[in-house]
Chains A and B, each alone.
Chain A
């Protein structure tokens, strides 16, 4: 029995969706190990600054677990200061952890590029300044961001409450918010349970759907040449070697 491939996750402390999403997509011989950055129910830029002050410690702790890759799994935390800041964060994690790093906001941009789309609709559970910053980041990354719609119930539920919203609500809201001219839909936020319904949304919308966790899983698995469990949308299925 060989040593298993190990993925280290850096997650906001309130987030209970990233860990199960990675586990659902990971085959048995890949193990997932996490550490948290402080987050509470505040939704200011200050709390994101405070959260990101924990990044270096998280990378240091995860490096003692001999992980093969470290993942920064927060979308807003990697887009809120624009293109460029995400690269600095990846460099800090790679230097501290001594392994390759992946972060959600650039992974989602890479995923949308990989799908060859330009015009995108975006749904999120934010409903605040984060929707604006998201638009700035993905516009800078070269996309035509048609709309960014925050789901009001999740937005009112707070940062830990986002994880309590059933995936069915994510489908209904996102299916209605996707514009006819969009080439792809992006469901943002690693705390939102959108990956479980990505395949269903693709069927309903007849176009590719990218979600934060799905894009992060895709970037991580591509880097480590891991074959995912199928069923989480065309992006992740594209890495499956066996026919889906």
Chain B
């Protein structure tokens, strides 16, 4: 039995969606290992994100002792809130500490939307306005026409720690309603939101590609490590499946 391929996840401490999402898509022989960054639930988002990212270097150091083959910074807001370019600095910092390739969510989602041939995108999120505005700035700087960014009101009212408690059906209904007719693709942002589980169904309903934060992050990770994902999580990931789906 060969040594398994190992993926190291750097996660916001409250996030309980990214680990099971990776697990659902990963074949046998690929294992997932996590270190968390502390995230608060109160105060201005910019301060919450700054505090969280203070833990990033420690996470890379701890995960490097586990001989992981790749490290993943799996938070969308944490990688877009300081603008296009900051994500690349972050990736460089983690690579220098960890000594392995690195993937970050905001960057991975931009690459995924490009691969899907999208120019005009609609976006749904579980975020307050501040994060939605930063998101639009980042993806505009990345070259997309961002038609709309809509925060789902129930989850926004429930707060950051409750994002992973929301039902995937709620994401499906909200995103179906908010995707604009002229959008080339739809993007469900946030690695704590359970959108990956309904990505394929959302694509069927919208008749266009759907990218979600965890789906794009997994896609970028598996592409880098040449891993064959389990099918059924949307066209982006299915494009990596070697056996016919």
Question: Which residues on A are within 8 Å of B, measured CB to CB?
Answer: 1, 3-4, 6, 13-16, 19-20, 23, 31-36, 38-40, 60-62, 64-67, 160, 164, 166-168
Known contacts A16-B66, A23-B23; can you find 15 more A-B pairs with CB under 8 A? A13-B62, A13-B63, A14-B67, A16-B33, A16-B67, A19-B32, A20-B31, A33-B16, A34-B34, A35-B35, A36-B35, A38-B65, A60-B38, A160-B67, A164-B3
Does B114 sit within 8 A of A, measured CB to CB? no
Give per-residue flags for B164-189: 1 if the beta carbon is below 8 A from chain A beta carbons, else 0: 11011100000000000000000000
Q: What residues of B have a CB within 8 angstroms of the CB of A62 in the complex? A: 13, 36
A13 touches B66 (CB 8 A): yes
- Contacts of B103-120 to chain A: CB distance below 8 A: none
Query: How many chain B residues touch the partner (CB < 8 A)?
Result: 32
Evaluate whether A14 and B31 lie within 8 angstroms (CB atoms) in the complex, with A31-B20, A35-B36, A167-B1 already known: no
Tell me, rounded to whole Å, the shortest Cβ–Cβ distance linking A201 to chain B.
Answer: 16
Tell me, rounded to whole Å, the shortest Cβ–Cβ distance linking A151 to chain B.
Answer: 16
Cα(A4)–Cα(B165), bound, Å: 8
With CB as the reference atom, state the residue of chain B lying closest to A6.
Answer: B16
B167 touches A1 (CB 8 A): yes
Evaluate whether A31 and B16 lie within 8 angstroms (CB atoms) in the complex, with A14-B66, A168-B1 already known: yes
With CB as the reference atom, state the residue of chain B lying closest to A34.
Answer: B34
Cα(A66)–Cα(B35), bound, Å: 16
Tell me, rounded to whole Å, the shortest Cβ–Cβ distance linking A143 to chain B.
Answer: 31
Q: What residues of A have a CB within 8 angstroms of the CB of B164 in the complex? A: 65
Does B14 sit within 8 A of A, measured CB to CB? yes
Q: What residues of B have a CB within 8 angstroms of the CB of A168 in the complex? A: 1
Q: A14's contact among B14, B19, B36, B65, by CB below 8 Å, is which?
A: B65
Does B15 sit within 8 A of A, measured CB to CB? yes
Cα(A193)–Cα(B169), bound, Å: 38
Does B51 sit within 8 A of A, measured CB to CB? no
Enumerate the 10 nearest inter-chain pairs by beta-carbon distance, A residue then B residue, closest first: A61-B13, A13-B62, A64-B13, A13-B65, A31-B20, A166-B1, A64-B14, A20-B31, A34-B34, A36-B62
Q: A35's contact among B34, B66, B68, B161, by CB below 8 Å, is which?
A: B34
Tell me, rounded to whole Å, the shortest Cβ–Cβ distance linking B242 to chain A.
Answer: 22
Does B41 sit within 8 A of A, measured CB to CB? yes
Tell me, rounded to whole Å, the shortest Cβ–Cβ distance linking A79 to chain B.
Answer: 22
Does B4 sit within 8 A of A, measured CB to CB? yes
Q: What residues of A have a CB within 8 angstroms of the CB of B16 in the complex? A: 4, 6, 31, 33, 65-67
Tell me, rounded to whole Å, the shortest Cβ–Cβ distance linking A96 to chain B.
Answer: 13
Tell me, rounded to whole Å, the shortest Cβ–Cβ distance linking B194 to chain A.
Answer: 9
Q: B4's contact among A20, A31, A66, by CB below 8 Å, is which?
A: A20
A32 touches B19 (CB 8 A): yes
Tell me, rounded to whole Å, the shortest Cβ–Cβ distance linking A28 to chain B.
Answer: 8
Q: A19's contact among B1, B13, B33, by CB below 8 Å, is which?
A: B33
With CB as the reference atom, state the residue of chain B lying closest to A32.
Answer: B19
Cα(A6)–Cα(B19), bound, Å: 11
For A19, A60, A164, the residue with the greatest tally of chain B CB atoms inside 10 Å of its CB is A19
